[in-house]
């Protein structure tokens, strides 16, 4: 059997572990051919493919990014996109497709599956907001990177008696902000799940700096928003394509704090640093487990499913059930971040 494989959407550490596992399991265990498509769905539509041999995956486990390349491209949004996908898959005699991606790629995958293609998906995103799985590939590494950055910012914040605002990624969910904030000992964490009130932030900082501290760290997710109708209104700033403008909320928050408190305030936007570099062992293991499970699912005749980490186990969940849903940070975790401020 010929199995197609693609990585779509934003890249992240751990993708190569999943690709490697698909190739090893598919080729080694079952003797199937694995055909990689370059640059996500774009490669499928354009018939841009590369047969994945053992040579291609050698030494890729610790590598960041994706050896297949990726793109933010949705065949379902293009005229005739689905037809082009069907045509290329038929022409190349691809019997099943493994799609590694976040919400956009998985949404496209569910529509392609509905058109009759055998699909098994693997969740990846540093944002960790894919519904149905406890964790997505890339998230663990991103939290590590953000925590290390906060640790470093801590020492310079203290030396200079400054308020340091650190903006991390997270469009619709604040998983990185909340967990890196807790791990890095941030004073305040602002996440999309809970609109923030600038008056309270200013009161808190003023009291803290007057009574017992001379520095503060505020971690803000790029999708955080202010309470509507409050003295400082901030709605996520989006660009031409509806994408969140990185750095915008961090700049607005740090500017407002400096203006209202008079404290020396600085902003650090971690941006794509969080998506680059070598994956942690946890992400290598998760990618490997998902890769093996995806091939096994195809061999077992499953389709329209996604591999998911549920507790200690990798299971299969229905793609149709997760489409359009966002996994946000639970209140209990938000409360822990708040309780430790």
User: Was 276 annotated as part of a binding site?
Assistant: no
142 vs 177: CA distance, rounded Å: 10
| Smallest distance from ligand F6P to CB 295, Å | 25
Phi, psi dihedral angles at 218 (to 5 degrees): -120, 120
**Which CB sits closer to ligand F6P, 36 or 65?**
65
271 contact partners, CB below 8 Å, separation of at least 6: 167, 169, 246, 247
| Smallest distance from ligand F6P to CB 171, Å | 5
Q: Is the dihedral of CA 149, 155, 159, 164 positive or negative?
A: positive
| Smallest distance from ligand F6P to CB 75, Å | 18
What are the residues binding ligand F6P (CB under 6 A)? 9-10, 72, 102, 125-127, 169-171, 222, 243-244, 275
For the CA atoms of 285, 288, 292, 298, the dihedral, rounded to the nearest 10 degrees, stands at 120
246 vs 145: CA distance, rounded Å: 17
User: DSSP string of 164-194?
Assistant: EEEEE--SS--HHHHHHHHHHT-SEEE-TTS
User: Was 210 annotated as part of a binding site?
Assistant: no
127 catalytic? Reply is yes
User: Was 162 annotated as part of a binding site?
Assistant: yes
Beta bridge partners of 96: 3, 118
| Smallest distance from ligand F6P to CB 142, Å | 8
User: Was 275 annotated as part of a binding site?
Assistant: yes
User: Was 74 annotated as part of a binding site?
Assistant: no
Q: Among 11, 127, 129, 296, which one carries the catalytic annotation?
A: 127
| Smallest distance from ligand F6P to CB 309, Å | 18
**Which CB sits closer to ligand F6P, 10 or 287?**
10
**Which CB sits closer to ligand F6P, 26 or 181?**
181
| H-run or E-run covering 297 | helix 281-299
**Which CB sits closer to ligand F6P, 126 or 226?**
126
**Which CB sits closer to ligand F6P, 52 or 126?**
126
Closest CA to 98 of 294, 245, 276: 294
212 vs 208: CA distance, rounded Å: 6
User: Was 335 annotated as part of a binding site?
Assistant: no
Which residues line the annotated binding site for substrate? 125-127, 162, 169-171, 222, 266, 272-275
Annotated binding site for Mg(2+): 103
> Which positions are annotated as active-site residues?
127
Q: Which residues are part of a known binding site for ATP?
A: 10, 72-73, 102-105
């Amino acid at each position: 059997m010929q199995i197609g494989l693609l990585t779509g959407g934003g890249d992240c550490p751990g993708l190569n572990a999943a690709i490697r596992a698909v190739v090893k399991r598919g080729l080694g265990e079952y003797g199937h051919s694995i055909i990689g498509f370059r640059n996500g769905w774009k490669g499928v539509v354009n018939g841009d493919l590369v047969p994945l041999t053992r040579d291609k995956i050698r030494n890729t486990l610790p590598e960041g990014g994706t050896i297949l390349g990726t793109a933010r491209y949705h065949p379902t949004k293009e005229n005739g996109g689905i037809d082009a996908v069907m045509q290329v898959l038929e022409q190349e005699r691809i019997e099943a497709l493994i799609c590694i991606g976040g919400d956009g790629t998985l949404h496209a995958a569910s529509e392609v599956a509905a058109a009759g293609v055998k699909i098994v998906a693997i969740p990846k995103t540093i944002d960790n907001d894919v519904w149905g799985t406890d964790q997505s590939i890339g998230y663990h590494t991103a939290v590590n990177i953000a925590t290390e950055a906060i640790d470093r910012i801590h020492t310079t914040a203290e030396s200079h008696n400054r308020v340091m605002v650190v903006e991390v990624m997270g469009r619709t969910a604040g998983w990185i902000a909340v967990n890196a904030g807790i791990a890095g000992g941030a004073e305040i964490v602002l996440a999309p799940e809970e609109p923030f009130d600038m008056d309270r932030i200013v009161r808190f900082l003023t009291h803290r700096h007057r009574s017992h501290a001379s520095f503060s760290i505020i971690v803000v997710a790029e999708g955080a928003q202010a309470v509507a109708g409050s003295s400082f209104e901030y709605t996520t700033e989006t660009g031409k394509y509806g994408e969140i403008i990185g750095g915008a909320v961090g700049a607005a928050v740090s500017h407002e704090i400096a203006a209202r408190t008079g404290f020396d305030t600085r902003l650090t936007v971690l941006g794509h640093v969080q998506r680059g570099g070598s994956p942690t062992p946890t992400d290598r293991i998760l990618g490997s487990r998902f890769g093996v499970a995806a091939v096994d699912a195809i061999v077992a005749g499953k389709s329209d499913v996604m591999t998911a980490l549920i507790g200690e186990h990798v299971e299969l969940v229905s793609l149709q059930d997760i489409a359009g849903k966002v996994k946000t940070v639970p209140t209990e975790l938000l409360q822990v971040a708040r309780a430790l401020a």
